[in-house]
Amino acid sequence: MSGLDTKAAALVLAALLLLGVWGTWYFLADPALFRDGLANLQRFLIRVGSLSFPPLGKLIALTGMTLGIVVLGTLLAALLSVPVAWASAAVTAPNGWIRSAGRFLGVLSRAVPDVVLAMVFATIFALGAIPGILAFGLHSIGMISRLFADAIEQSEAGPRLAIRAAGGTKWQEFTSGILPQVFPSWVATVLHRADINLRGSIIMGYAGVAGLGLEMRNAFAIMDYSLGLGIAVVMLVLCVGMEVVSSTARHRLLGLGNARRRSARRANRPPYLMAASVTALIAASIWVCQIGWSDLAISWEYLEKTARSFWPPSTGSYGMSRFLGAMGVTVSVAISAVLVSLVGSLLLGSFAARNVAPNRGVRSISRLLLIVIRAIPELVLAIVLIVVFGLGAPAGVLALGVCGVGLLGKLIADSIEENPPGPEIAVSATGATRLQRYTAATLPGVRRAIIGHVFYLLDTNIRAATILGVVGGGGIGYYLLTASQGSRYGQVTLIVAMIVAVVMVVEALAMWVRKVLR
Amino acid sequence: MPSVTSLHSGATPATATRPPVADGAAVQFAGVGKNFSGNWALKQVSFDVPQGQVVVLLGSSGSGKSTLLRHVDGFENPTTGQIWVHGQLVNGLKNTPLRKLRSQIGFIFQRFELVGPLSALENVLTGASARIRGPRLGAWTYPKALRNEAMEQLERVGLAQFAAQRTDTLSGGQLQRVAIARALMQHPSILLADEPVSSLDPESSHEVMTLIREIAARDGLTVLCSLHQVELALSWGDRIVGLRQGEVVLDTPTELVTKDQVLPLYQRPAPDAPDALTLPNTEFTFASPPPTPELVLGLSL
C-alpha cells in the first residue's frame, strides 16, 4: 500500500516538474522578450535618471504609518491567534470538533490573500490605515496560529502533567505549564510575521491602504519612475533593517543556554517594563496611523448593502472560462517560479553550505547573496520587471523565481549543513572528488528535505502569484483588482473562492507528498 | 629541527624525504604527534606495519586510536612526524594525490556511514568513485561492468539479495557488510577499520570480524583495526598495538600477549604520577611474511 502511495507521489512530482518546465519554456523562452526587455531597461534607467524621494517630513510620516499598520496588524493577529492555536493544538484542544474548527479557521485565514481582505475592508471603512490593519490582523492568523500550535505541541508534557497532578485546572495547565515554555518561540513567530507583513505592506497600497505602498503605486501610475524607485529603495532599507532586527531578536530568544539570570526581587515583580513598552508601541502606532474614533464608525446600513452585493458570485461579462484560464496562468506562474528558484537555490544553497563550499570565502559570499535576495520585496522586483518586460506572466515568473532563491536557497543550505557528515566522509575516504561526494552522499541525504522545502515554496508562491497579478504580473490577480475597483463584488466573491480552493488543494497536496516521501 | 618536533626528543625531522625503512612496510608511523588545540592526542607514535599484517589497535576511548587511523587516510595532518603508506609520504597531501592515496585504502566506520536513502548497490558503487570520472546520480549512471562488480562484492559479503533495498531499512550487521563491500569496491591494499563492531550485537560482531579476517587473508590486505573489546582483540589479529593517552605502550604479537598485560591500558593513571604505569613495552621486529594464518583459527567470541 505504501509502495503505491510512493509511486503516486512520484507521479505527482513528475507532473509538477513537467508543468514547471513547460511553463518556464512558454513564459520565458522568447528571445524577443529579453531583447525588448534590454531596450526597455535602458529607457527605464534613462527615465529614472536619479532617485527622488518625497519631502522628508512626508517621508517620515509615510514610513511611520507603514510601520504602524504592520505593528498593529501583526499584534492583532497574535492576539487572535492564541485562542485559535489553543483550539487547534492536540494537547490543548478540548475535543476533536473544536480542533478541526480551529485548524479550518487557520487554513481559511491563510488562504484568503491579505490584499483581498484589505479591498473588502476598504469598502466598509474609510480609506486609511484601518483596512490594512484588519487585513494583516486576519490573514496573519493562519501562519501565526499554526506556528503557535506547533510550539504548544512540541512543548514538554512534564510541567503540564505536574500542574494537573497538583490539582490544577486546564486553564492553569495552559498559563503555568505551557505558556512559559512557548513564550519565546511565540515572540519569535510574531517578529517573523512582522517581517513578512512589512514586505506585504507594498501591495496594500493597491488596495488603497495609506502608507509607502500607496505613494509608490501613485508614483508608478503617473510614470514618475524616479520617485517610485526612490520609495522602493526606502522600502528595501526598511525590509533589510527589519530582517536584521527580527533575526537577531529571534536568535537571542531561541538560542539555547543563554537563560537570563534574574534576581529574586525582579522575579517577584510583574513585568512592568515589558507591559509599558508594548503599550507605548501600540499607542505610538495608533498615533502615527492617525486613527481616530470616527474611523471605527461604520454605517451598518451601508455594511449590510455591501455584504449583500458580494452575493451571489458571478462571472460578470467575462464567462467562467476566462477566470479558469487566468487561474491556470497563476498556477503555472507559481510552479514555473518554483523551478526557476530551485535551479538557483541548488547552486547558491549548496555553495552556502559549510560542507560543500570549497572554502570559507565562497560560503560567506553565498550566504550574503542569499540574505540580500531575501531582503528584496518580490513586489518591488515585480513592479520593476513589469516596466522592463511589460505586463504579464514573464515578469511574474522572474520576480517570484528570483525572490524564491532567498528562501529556498537558505532552507537548502541549512538542510545540507544539518545532514550527518559521516556518509560524506566515507565517500571521501574512497578517493572520490568533491563533485562525486556531492552527488553520491550530500544530495541523496537531503533529497527528501528539498522536496519538502519545494512544496513549502509552491504553497507560498500560489498566494504570491495571485498578488503579483494585482500589480500586473499576469493571472487571476488582474481580474480581482478590476472587479474590486469596479465594485463588481460578485466577481470578487467568485475569484476569492477560486483562490481559496486552489490554495487548499495545493496545501493538501503538499502535506500528502511530504508525508508519503518522508 | 622545527620547534614543534623538539617537544619530544628524537623526533624525526619533518623534512625527511624517504621513509625510515623502505622494505615491505605498508604503513609506517615515524614520531607521529597530533596536537588538538593544546592537547596532545598522539605523542611520538612510531611503528611499521608490514604488507599483509593484521594489526589491532587497542585502547580505551580517547586513547588516540581513531585519530591515528584518520592520519593514515589523510583526514588529519600530524603536528609532528610523518606517516608513510607504501613508501609515499602522507603528510600534506592534497587534491588528486590525496584522492589517489585514499582510493588504495578502504575505511570501515563504527557507524557504517552509508547513504541511507540509496540502495545497497548504489552505496557499494560509490566505492568505485576514484575509478571513474565525474559525478553520478543513480545506480544506472555507472558503467555496466562496475554494476556487475558491485553485485559480486555484495555476493561476497552475502547480501546479493538486498542489492535493491534502501540501506536505511537494513540491520546493523547488514549495514556493516554493505560498508565492507563498498570498501572492497576500491580494490584496496590496506583496510582501516575504526571500531567496526562497536554498534553491533555479539552475533553480528562475530560475523563482521570473521568476514574482515577472511577477506584480508584472501586478498592479502594490510589491516589496521581499532577495537576496545579485549576478548575480541586477543583472539583476532596478528599483532596488538596498545595506545594509552596517545602513546604506544604495548606492541606485541597477539599470540604472546595475555589479558593481564592488556588490562592496564584501561586503567586511569594517578593524576600526580602519569608515568607510573609499567607495561612490558615489548618491541618486536616483524619481518615479512607475517605470522601464519593458523593463529586466527582459534577465533572465539
Strand order in the sheet with B88-89: B39-50, B25-36, B80-85, B88-89
pTM over 0.80: no
The total of other beta-carbon atoms located within 10 Å of residue A394's CB is 25
DSSP lists the bridge partners of residue B50 as B25
- Residue A262 has a pLDDT of 52
Which residues of B are less than 8 Å from A445 in CB distance? 115-117
Residue A226 sits in the same domain as residue A282: yes
- Residue B103 has a pLDDT of 93
Answer yes or no: do A423 and B182 touch at CB < 8 A: no
B33 and chain A: CB distance < 8 Å anywhere?
Answer: no
Decide if B299 contacts B210 (C-beta within 8 A): yes
Q: Which three cell numbers stand for residue B6?
A: 623538539
- Please tell me which of the candidates B107, B111, B117 has its beta carbon nearest to residue A444: B117
Residue A143 sits in the same domain as residue A288: yes
Question: H-type helices in chain B, by residue range?
Answer: 65-72, 95-103, 120-125, 144-156, 172-184, 202-219, 230-234, 259-262
- Residue A220 has a pLDDT of 84
Alpha-carbon distance of B272 to A34, in angstroms, equals 77
Q: Which of A350, A430, A447 to mutate to test the interface with B (most CBs of B within 10 A)?
A: A430
Q: What is the least distance, in Å, from the CA of B203 to any CA of chain A?
A: 25
Decide if B102 contacts A431 (C-beta within 8 A): yes
* Number of independent structural domains in chain A: 2
The domain B20-104+188-196+223-267+276-301 is classified under which CATH number: 3.30.300.100, 3.30.365.10, 3.40.47.10, 3.40.50.300? 3.40.50.300
For chain A, residues with pLDDT lower than 50 are 1, 256-259
- Residue A506 has a pLDDT of 86
Residue A396, Ramachandran bin (φ over 0: left; ψ between -120 and 50: alpha; else beta): alpha
| Closest CA relative to residue B172, chosen from B204, B195, B144 | B204
Q: Which three cell numbers stand for residue A363?
A: 560560503
* Structural domain includes residue A366: yes
What backbone phi and psi angles, to 5 degrees, belong to B216? -60, -45
Which of A110-114, A180-184, B39-43, B229-233 holds the top average pLDDT? Answer: B39-43
**DSSP-derived pairing of the beta strands B25-36 and B80-85:** antiparallel
Specify the residue for cell string 601464519: B292
Alpha-carbon distance of A111 to A93, in angstroms, equals 23
Q: What is the least distance, in Å, from the CA of B102 to any CA of chain A?
A: 5
Q: What is the least distance, in Å, from the CA of B160 to any CA of chain A?
A: 21
Answer yes or no: do B100 and A436 touch at CB < 8 A: no
Decide if A345 contacts A404 (C-beta within 8 A): yes
Specify the residue for cell string 540580500: A372
Q: What percent of chain B has pLDDT over 90?
A: 60
Residue A207 sits in the same domain as residue A339: no
Residue A20 sits in the same domain as residue A167: no
Which residues of A are less than 8 Å from B186 in CB distance? 430-431
A422 and chain B: CB distance < 8 Å anywhere?
Answer: yes
- Residue A305 has a pLDDT of 79
Residue A291 sits in the same domain as residue A338: no
Average pLDDT, chain B: 83
Question: H-type helices in A376-488, by residue range?
Answer: 378-389, 393-418, 422-429, 434-437, 443-471, 476-485
Q: What is the least distance, in Å, from the CA of B112 to any CA of chain A?
A: 8
Residue A277 sits in the same domain as residue A336: no
Residue A323 sits in the same domain as residue A214: no
| Closest-approach residue (CA) in chain A for B129 | A432
Residue A33 sits in the same domain as residue A90: no
Domain boundaries, chain B: 20-104+188-196+223-267+276-301, 110-187
Decide if A188 contacts A150 (C-beta within 8 A): no
* Structural domain includes residue A264: no
What backbone phi and psi angles, to 5 degrees, belong to A364? -65, -45
Q: Which three cell numbers stand for residue A142?
A: 493562519
* Residue B240 pLDDT > 60: yes
**DSSP-derived pairing of the beta strands B105-108 and B222-227:** unpaired
Largest CA distance in chain B: 63
B183 and chain A: CB distance < 8 Å anywhere?
Answer: yes
Decide if A465 contacts A424 (C-beta within 8 A): no
Residue A71 sits in the same domain as residue A96: yes
Q: What is the least distance, in Å, from the CA of A2 to any CA of chain B?
A: 14
A436 and chain B: CB distance < 8 Å anywhere?
Answer: yes
DSSP lists the bridge partners of residue B191 as B106, B223
More confident site: A36 or B243: B243
Answer yes or no: do A440 and B183 touch at CB < 8 A: no
CATH code, domain with A332: 1.10.3720.10
What backbone phi and psi angles, to 5 degrees, belong to B85? -125, 120
Which residues of B are less than 8 Å from A431 in CB distance? 99-104, 129-130, 186
Answer yes or no: do B105 and A441 touch at CB < 8 A: no
Decide if A24 contacts A339 (C-beta within 8 A): yes
Which residues of A are less than 8 Å from B100 in CB distance? 431
Q: What is the least distance, in Å, from the CA of A437 to any CA of chain B?
A: 8
**Which amino acid does the sequence have at A241?**
G
- Residue B301 has a pLDDT of 37
- Residue B15 has a pLDDT of 47
| Closest-approach residue (CA) in chain B for A425 | B113
Residue A274 sits in the same domain as residue A220: yes
Which residues of A are less than 8 Å from B93 in CB distance? none
- Residue A41 has a pLDDT of 82
- Residue A404 has a pLDDT of 93
Residue A22 sits in the same domain as residue A65: no
* Residue B1 pLDDT > 80: no
- Residue A267 has a pLDDT of 63
- Residue B79 has a pLDDT of 95
Alpha-carbon distance of B289 to B276, in angstroms, equals 36
- Residue A1 has a pLDDT of 44
Q: What is the least distance, in Å, from the CA of A427 to any CA of chain B?
A: 7
Decide if A483 contacts A492 (C-beta within 8 A): yes
| Closest-approach residue (CA) in chain B for A434 | B135
B219 and chain A: CB distance < 8 Å anywhere?
Answer: no
- Residue A45 has a pLDDT of 78
What backbone phi and psi angles, to 5 degrees, belong to B77? -110, 130
> What ipTM does the predicted assembly reach?
0.78
Q: Percent helix, strand and coil across chain B, each rounded to 5?
A: 35, 20, 40
| Closest CA relative to residue A454, chosen from A516, A413, A411 | A411
Which residues of B are less than 8 Å from A422 in CB distance? 109, 111-113
Decide if A107 contacts A142 (C-beta within 8 A): yes
* Structural domain includes residue A420: yes
Residue A300 sits in the same domain as residue A326: no
- Please tell me which of the candidates A431, A438, A440 has its beta carbon nearest to residue B100: A431
Which residues of A are less than 8 Å from B187 in CB distance? none
Alpha-carbon distance of A208 to A119, in angstroms, equals 8
Answer yes or no: do A422 and B103 touch at CB < 8 A: no
| Lowest pLDDT segment from A504-513, B37-46, B80-89 | A504-513
Polymer length in residues for chain B: 301
More confident site: A219 or B294: A219
Alpha-carbon distance of A65 to A59, in angstroms, equals 10
Alpha-carbon distance of B34 to A60, in angstroms, equals 61
CA quadruple B255, B256, B259, B262: dihedral sign: negative
Which residues of B are less than 8 Å from A446 in CB distance? none
Alpha-carbon distance of A373 to B284, in angstroms, equals 65
- Residue A257 has a pLDDT of 42
Alpha-carbon distance of A162 to A170, in angstroms, equals 12
The total of other beta-carbon atoms located within 10 Å of residue B28's CB is 23
Decide if B63 contacts B265 (C-beta within 8 A): yes
Which residues of B are less than 8 Å from A443 in CB distance? 137
Which three-class secondary structure string do you get for A346-374? HHHHHHCCCCCCCCHHHHHHHHHHHHHHH
Decide if B51 contacts B26 (C-beta within 8 A): yes
* Structural domain includes residue A263: no
Instruction: Tell me the per-residue pLDDT of A498-518, one tens digit each, with 9 for 90 and over.
Output: 988 998 888 888 878 877 876
- Residue B226 has a pLDDT of 95
Domain hosting residue A288, numbered range: 56-258+269-309
Q: Which of B76, B94, B115 to mutate to test the interface with A (most CBs of A within 10 A)?
A: B115
